[in-house]
Amino acid sequence: MQQPIVAYLTDEENHWVARLACGHNQHVRHDPPWMNRPWVTTPQGRDSMLGHHLECKKCDEHAPPDGIPTQPLER
């Protein structure tokens, strides 16, 4: 199911995670050649992708929303 990105946070290893409108979190790594997401490396790039839809496998599996992050969300 497609869900829009509403904010970002980082995990315990400082990898970027997108917070989706459904309440699920999804890693958005830039790790070429497997994941090519150069936009995640800058604040401007991340801002440009707010509202962009990602496929949420957790929604497809009817998983409950992820816990509320302990750190402030970034936009």
pLDDT, residue 31, reads 85
Of 3-7, 17-21, 33-37, 61-65, the one with minimum mean pLDDT is 33-37
Amino acid in position 22: C
Indicate the average pLDDT of the chain.
90
Question: Of residues 22 and 11, which shows the higher confidence score?
Answer: 22
- Residue 69 above 70 pLDDT? no
- Residue 75 above 90 pLDDT? no
Q: Reply yes or no: is the peptide bond before residue 69 cis, omega within 30 of 0.
A: no
Can you list the domains of the chain with their CATH numbers?
2-60 (2.40.50)
